[in-house]
Copies of this chain bind each other. A is one copy, B any other.
Amino acid sequence: MTYCAAIRLKDGMVFASDTRTNAGVDHISTFRKLYQYGVEGERFMVLQTAGSLATSQAVFNKLQSDIDQRAESNLNTVATLFDAAQMVGECMREKMNHAKAVANSSRDGAFTSSFMLGGQIKGQPPELYLIYPEGNCIKATEDTPFFQLGESKYGKPILDRSVSYNTDVRHAARALMLSFDSTIHSNLSVGMPIDFVLYDNDSLALPNGRRIDERDEYFNTIRHQWSDALRRTLVELPKCPDGYWG
């Protein structure tokens, strides 16, 4: 399984993907599922994936090879983020159809991937797209500032409660760390390390990002503080009135 999420805020964007893949619970591996593209000062993009790892890697390879070989249309030349999202969607459908043909299969299901693409091109606003297994896409808005892929439910309540378009980007990053902590706690098939990228809007910088593992001191500090505070808050809630339970 996979859990990944991306948030587009007034002042910045945060992207996070776990790195666990599994074929059954007895075949677990670590693979990067978040890649960064761009040109310092010109354009910045992060692409995240969930679904068939083979299809996803075929897409990452094709996109990178188009950049390396300076294909006429590649992630470093497309005019808009929307064009980039369409390129990813079409590339995914092409790779999926190829895999289906090789396998002589009529089912899309086992071969599809989903993607999220976020970033900024100089002179344009920052944007975030969710690219469906069908290859089409939707854009994050002020009303719906975050997207999730994969094992999204365990970690959604904390984002629902604490992230809106005007939330500070570092505050949102902390909420996202806790969202991953909850998910990892509840689903074995989502696992550390987690690849995080934080982007300040209009910086057009290519951040190094951070790979957070079990020994990350800051991550451990906030997840323990969070866990202790939840436990304390629950203990301190008022007792139910007499006769409440009937």
Contact = CB atoms under 8 A, between A and B. Distances in A.
Interface string A54-67: 00000000000000
Interface in A201-220: 207-210, 218
A182 B157 contact: yes
B162 A245 contact: no
Interface string A158-183: 10111000000011011100100010
A30 interface: no
B230 A162 contact: yes
A68 to B, nearest CB: 24
A160 B175 contact: no
A24 B96 CA distance: 30
Contact of A222 (B162, B221, B230, B238): B238
A246 interface: yes
A182 B155 CA distance: 11
Interface of A: 153-158, 160-162, 170-171, 173-175, 178, 182, 185-186, 196, 198, 207-210, 218, 221-222, 225-227, 229-231, 233-235, 237-241, 244-246
